[in-house]
A and B are shown apart, each in its own frame.
Chain A
Amino acid sequence: MFGAYIDGVVIAAGINALLGLGLYVTVSTGQFSVGHGGFMAIGAYVASILTLKFGFSLVPAMLVGGGCAFVVGALIGLPVMRFDMIYLAMATLGFGEIVRSVLSTIDYVGGVNGLRGMSGVTIWHVLVTLAIVLVLAWLHDRSRMGIAYSAVRQDPDAALAMGIDVRRVKVGAFAIGAGITGVAGALYAHHMLFIDPEAFGFPMSIAIVLFVIFGGLGVFWGPVLGAIALTVLPEMLHFIKEWYLFLYGAIYIVMMIWRPQGIVDRAMIRRLSQLLRPRSAPAAGASR
């Protein structure tokens, strides 16, 4: 639409935004996963096998890939929901690496050499998918389930006492987040034309974490902005392109010292919503 180069950047930003959203759904219940690269791999590989070896077209393959990632997400989410943060981090890290190493041993999917020949992603695939997920996220945010997610994140025991099925929320968050990540993985595979297990290892997982951390955990579009910024930034600073991991590492360090809650945090959201709201009589006791 805009020319091949810009199309490519938009597609990449869109895929990363989807990845950010996928992780955000899981993290919004307080479950910090550093292994979402594994779900991305599942979506990517399943979809690629379907299009390459079974003649599926992109959209059904993408959905099946996402579906498989969803199922695996539920399977992983079940045992880890009782874990505390440290154990969860290690378990998800282990999961991501197991997926990567298992894939490299399976010859049917190309082993270490990977799969090539996928294609067919246009800017519309990415934008439409992103739009759908954004609308769903917006609806979820305003729903009772969205509040339940928030409650589980802030205090799972209190949430349980209030009658929220913490188990369902946590496992659901894992599964849905995994599904979205899987769909993004499918798009990724068909955009990159080539995938191998290494692409979905820890560096990918923590890049996704950075999208969320940088963008901000306060609201669902924080990770979207974070992903877009972190995709476009290496493109704009040409000399840093091969060094993008270096840039990400530096951003991790700087953010943790300066603004660990991310760019878009609750304070900023409040300020933005005050800007956008028409001026009304200040509430009693409101201070500036």
Chain B
Amino acid sequence: MDGALLLQQIVNGLVLGSSYALVALGFTLVLGTLDLLNFAHGETIMGGAFAALVSMTVLDLPLALTFVVAAAVGAVAAAVVYFISIRYVNKTYWAAPALSTVGIGLLLQTGATRIFGTIQREVPDPLRASQVSLEEVSISASQILIVAVTLVIMFALHLLLVRTRIGKAIRAVAESMTTASLLGVNVERTIAITLIISGILAGIAAVLTSFAYTTITPFIGLNLLLKGMTGMIIGGLGNVYGAMVGGIIVGLLETFTVGYWSATYQDVVVYGVMIAVLMFRPSGMFGAKIRKRA
């Protein structure tokens, strides 16, 4: 076993895992507060990724602004999900919101295919050129960026959830919608804000995964959704901190499979782990924080 190769794989895995962690975070937040599987989450990220592509190529914006653009697009997509799938949906049917998000995802994907075509588009990486070498492991500046941004976001989210009023409202709604509203929490507004936050997380994740994957197509949505889902399942449904760890584990799994087995099997392994965890430990590593459905 080559030590340097192992170390390099771990680095690559952590980088990829960081972006998956953000995907899982956005997804978990919505699931935890609304019991909603947001099937449009993957396509939201895809939209953010293309927005980042356009921002960096056509509009020639600096990287910082690209993050803002992608986050904005993510937030807009999330707002659309809120209005179509939550606000104005017929509440008599419990599966209606989730199925509605399926529809939104389809629209986004076909729309993006129309606008951008099906070819793989390379995402320009302004930081890829600068590499840092620690002993035998080389890390590019963009890899450091991915991990750094992820850590900052995770910390910011933690602060938001624990130290702010809206964070408390989100946690209350996640615990029990009825009790929260009885205690004076504006549940509708909290739900909308939760979605917007998940959209922002998706947008940032979009930029980071674009750098990690280097090319994007309109079809990356489902793959990202599943990787995020797996991360969430490993960490425990609805568990924000679990999702962070779970996403990183997924990234490591994928990288190790590519490195030590073959790239052909990377998806099979991740999905296999997803099914295995669902079968044998559905509460995940850290315990699920999902309301028990009556």
Residues of A within 8 A of B (CB): 32, 79, 83-87, 89-91, 93-95, 97-98, 101-102, 104-105, 201-203, 206, 209, 213, 243, 245-246, 248-253, 255-261
Whether A256 contacts B100 in the complex (CB less than 8 A), given A90-B37, A94-B278, comes out as yes
Which 5 pairs from chain A and chain B are nearest by CB?
Answer: A252-B103, A249-B106, A260-B93, A256-B100, A253-B103
B272→A98 contact, CB < 8 A: yes
Name the prevailing secondary structure of the B interface residues.
Answer: helix
Known: A98-B275, A209-B102, A253-B103. 12 other contacts (CB 8 A): A84-B293, A86-B237, A90-B37, A94-B274, A97-B222, A101-B267, A101-B268, A201-B222, A248-B103, A253-B100, A256-B100, A260-B96
> Which residues from A are CB-within-8-Å of B37?
86, 89-90
Could you say which of A95, A253, A256 has the most chain B C-beta atoms within 10 Å of its C-beta?
A256
- Is B178 part of the contact surface with A, judged by Cβ < 8 Å? no
**Size of chain B's interface in residues, with CB distance under 8 A?**
46
Q: Cα distance A79–B281 when bound, in Å?
A: 12
B106→A252 contact, CB < 8 A: yes
Chain A residues near B114 (CB, 8 Å)?
243
Whether B278 and A249, one on each chain, are in contact in the complex, defined by CB atoms closer than 8 angstroms, is no
A85 proximity list for chain B (CB < 8 A): 94-95, 293
Contacts of A250 in B (CB 8 A): 103, 107
On B, residues with C-beta under 8 Å from A are 31, 35, 37, 84-85, 88-90, 92-100, 102-107, 109-111, 114, 222, 226, 229-230, 233, 237, 264-265, 267-268, 271-272, 274-275, 278-279, 282, 290, 293
Q: Nearest chain-A residue to B43 (Cβ)?
A: A249
A246 touching B110 by the CB < 8 A rule?
yes
CA gap between A246 and B115 in the complex, in Å: 13
Q: How far is the CB of B265 from chain A (nearest CB, A)?
A: 6
Assess A202 versus B222: contact at CB under 8 Å? Given A85-B94, A87-B278: yes
Q: Which of B84, B104, B106 has the most CB of A within 10 A?
A: B106
A101 to B102, CA, bound (A): 21
The complex places the Cα of A251 from the Cα of B99 at a distance, in Å, of 10
Task: Identify the closest chain A residue to B264 (Cβ).
Answer: A105
The answer to whether B106 touches A248, judged by C-beta atoms less than 8 angstroms apart, is: yes
CB-defined contacts of A243 to chain B, threshold 8 Å: 110, 114
Return the contact of B110 from the options A93, A202, A245 (Cβ within 8 A): A245
Which residues from chain B contact A249 at a C-beta distance below 8 Å? 102-107, 110
- Cβ-closest chain A residue relative to B35: A86
Query: Shortest distance in angstroms between B269's beta carbon and chain A's nearest beta carbon?
Result: 9
B residues near A86, Cβ cutoff 8 Å? 31, 35, 37, 237, 290, 293
For A248, list chain B residues within 8 Å (CB).
103, 106
Q: Are B95 and A32 in contact (CB under 8 A)?
A: yes
